[in-house]
């Protein structure tokens, strides 16, 4: 018994486009699948864009799916590229037309006031805003490793690097590829199971972002609307330090956002972090928990040294009446992993700090999961 063309197509249906995470058959990328009498499977796949960075991955997946079928001796795989019209159709099918919603939401600066999918009541995505009162406390490191830990737990995870002037997530996550653009829809690069968008993909290496406020709003709006996030379970936002403009507009774009404050153990940092919490209160977003970073350093003698003092995280948590979700030690490998795009949670899952990130991820995902509120006034009819 040898397979028919229909059976080839069925065998290819589970093959997903690596960026779109959808079946290549359902996406209309499979253009031909025929078995010749000599046992060669002739397959034609239309790539979304020319020079598709994941062409090799698609090749492996397609060949893997049909190579072992009865009667298939060889696979002759050819590629073509979608036309502009096909790309537009695909974008509309997957993502609609976010630009057409201009004027429906809050407009700031150059932003158009588009509808933000994460602000819809039915959105299943939990936006986690990782913030702090001052810089350098480890916000981006926490965002990156927490995102990886959530992905390891099986959740779909996106990261928005909202620190426009001081972006660092692409380097920390190790996503050096540019986003693929399909007719105004951006596909976020993915690494360690985490998708990410950052201004870092759009400015030349080493150049500073010199935009003024109005442009920042536009960029953030596009990060939330033009990117094909595909309803992830979590959208982590690496907030810029402090309580500025970006924080304010993000809180309006993400009214269902949950704020997590990163702080270091010394009481001075705790005071600044309290400012960030006050900001969250002002814009009506709940602080859900505190994460203390750089809590101690374990020396070669096995002793814990509290280089930055102790107790700041707990103090802030008590002040705000929210839980201290975890304490992260100072470890050289965490910094090195951040510099090389190899997050410690991904590459050293057995380490003390990776375990701490997993525990925090579990608390957020399970214990702090918002309960559904059933209102007796709301009836489905
Ligand atoms: N627990 C830790 N152990 C060792 N190094 C750490 C730890 N946390 C953060 N670092 C390092 O400290 C530096 C600052 O951390 P990070 O960039 O995450 O902070 P940030 O709050 O995002 O800073 P910024 O305000 O500049 O955005 C980085 O080099 C990072 O690798
Ligand atoms: Mg940062």
133 lines ligand 1 (CB under 6 A): no
- The DSSP annotation for 187-240 comes to EPPEETTEEEEEGGGTS-TTPPP---HHHHHHHHHHHHHTB-----SEEEEEPP
DSSP 8-state secondary structure symbol assigned to residue 114: P
Nearest CA to ligand 1 atom 15: 138
Q: Which two tokens stand for residue 184?
A: 């105004």
Q: How far apart are CA 37 and CA 40, in angstroms?
A: 7
Q: How far apart are CA 231 and CA 125, in angstroms?
A: 6
Q: How far apart are CA 380 and CA 28, in angstroms?
A: 36
E strands, the chain, are 30-35, 40-47, 74-81, 126-131, 157-161, 180-182, 185-187, 190-191, 194-198, 234-238, 258-263, 287-293, 297-298, 304-305, 324-328
Probe residue for ligand 1, chosen from 130, 133, 135, 136 as the CB with the greatest number of ligand atoms within 8 Å: 136
How close is the Cα of 242 to the center of ligand 2, in Å? 11
Nearest CA to ligand 1 atom 25: 135
Tell me whether strands 297-298 and 190-191 are parallel, antiparallel or unpaired: unpaired
Q: Which residue has the tokens 């802030």?
A: 316
Query: Which residues in the chain come in under a pLDDT of 50?
Result: 381
Q: Which atom of ligand 1 is nearest to the CA of 136?
A: 23
| Dihedral sign from CA coordinates of 262, 268, 272, 274 | positive
E strands, 20-109, are 30-35, 40-47, 74-81
**Cβ pair 102, 219 in contact under 8 A:** no
Probe residue for ligand 1, chosen from 138, 304, 308 as the CB with the greatest number of ligand atoms within 8 Å: 138
Q: How far apart are CA 107 and CA 246, in angstroms?
A: 13
Q: How far is CA 102 from CA 36, 158, 201, 219, 230, in A?
A: 51, 24, 25, 14, 20
pLDDT (0 to 100) of residue 46? 97
Q: How far apart are CA 133 and CA 135, in angstroms?
A: 7
How close is the Cα of 141 to the center of ligand 2, in Å? 7
Q: Specify burial of residue 138 (Cβ count, 10 A radius: 0-12, 13-18, 19+).
A: buried
Q: Which atom of ligand 1 is nearest to the CA of 293?
A: 1
pLDDT (0 to 100) of residue 53? 79
Residues whose CB is less than 8 angstroms from the CB of residue 230 and which lie 6 or more positions away in sequence, other chains included: 20, 21, 94, 156
Q: Which two tokens stand for residue 157?
A: 């995870």
Cα angle, residue 190 at apex, residues 197 and 168 outer, rounded to 5° = 45
**Cβ pair 69, 85 in contact under 8 A:** no
Q: How far apart are CA 337 and CA 339, in angstroms?
A: 5
**Cβ pair 358, 323 in contact under 8 A:** no
E strands, 48-120, are 74-81
Nearest ligand for residue 136 CA: 1
pLDDT (0 to 100) of residue 133? 79
Q: Which two tokens stand for residue 235?
A: 């959208």
Nearest CA to ligand 1 atom 28: 335
How close is the Cα of 324 to the center of ligand 1, in Å? 19
**Cβ pair 137, 123 in contact under 8 A:** no
pLDDT (0 to 100) of residue 338? 96
In three-state secondary structure terms, 92 is: helix
261 lines ligand 1 (CB under 6 A): no
């Amino acid at each position: 018994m040898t397979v028919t063309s229909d059976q080839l197509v069925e065998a290819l249906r589970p093959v997903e486009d690596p960026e779109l995470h959808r079946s290549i058959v359902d996406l209309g990328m499979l253009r031909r699948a025929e078995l010749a009498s000599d046992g060669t499977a002739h397959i034609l796949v239309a790539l979304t864009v020319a020079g598709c960075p994941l062409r090799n991955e698609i090749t492996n997946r397609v060949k893997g799916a049909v190579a072992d079928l009865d009667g298939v001796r060889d696979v002759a795989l050819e590629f073509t590229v979608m036309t502009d019209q096909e790309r537009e159709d695909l974008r509309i099918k997957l993502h609609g037309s976010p630009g057409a919603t201009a004027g429906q939401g809050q407009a700031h600066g150059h932003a158009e006031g588009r509808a933000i999918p994460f602000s819809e009541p039915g959105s299943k995505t939990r936006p986690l805003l990782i913030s702090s009162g001052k810089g350098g406390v480890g916000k981006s490191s926490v965002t990156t490793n927490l995102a990886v830990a959530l992905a390891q737990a099986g959740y779909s995870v996106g990261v928005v690097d909202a620190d426009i002037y001081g972006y660092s997530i692409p380097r920390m996550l190790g996503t050096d590829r540019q986003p693929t653009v399909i007719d105004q829809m951006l596909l976020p690069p993915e690494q360690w199971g985490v998708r990410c968008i950052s201004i870092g993909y759009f400015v030349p290496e080493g150049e500073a972002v010199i935009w003024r406020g109005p442009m920042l709003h536009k960029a953030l709006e596009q990060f939330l609307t033009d990117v094909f996030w595909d309803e992830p379970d979590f959208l982590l936002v690496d907030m810029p330090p402090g309580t500025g403009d970006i924080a304010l507009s993000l809180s309006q774009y993400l009214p269902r956002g949950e704020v997590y404050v990163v702080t270091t153990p010394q009481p001075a940092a705790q005071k600044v972090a309290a400012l960030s919490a006050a900001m969250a209160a002002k814009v009506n977003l709940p602080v859900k928990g505190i994460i203390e970073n750089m809590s101690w350093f374990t020396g070669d003698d096995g002793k814990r040294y509290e280089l930055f003092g102790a107790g700041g995280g707990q103090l802030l948590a008590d002040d705000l009446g929210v839980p201290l979700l975890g304490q992260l030690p100072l470890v050289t490998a965490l910094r090195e992993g951040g510099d090389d795009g190899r997050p410690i949670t991904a590459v050293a899952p057995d380490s003390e700090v990776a375990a701490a990130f997993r525990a925090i991820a579990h608390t957020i995902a399970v214990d702090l999961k918002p309960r559904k509120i059933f209102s007796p006034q709301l009836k489905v009819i």
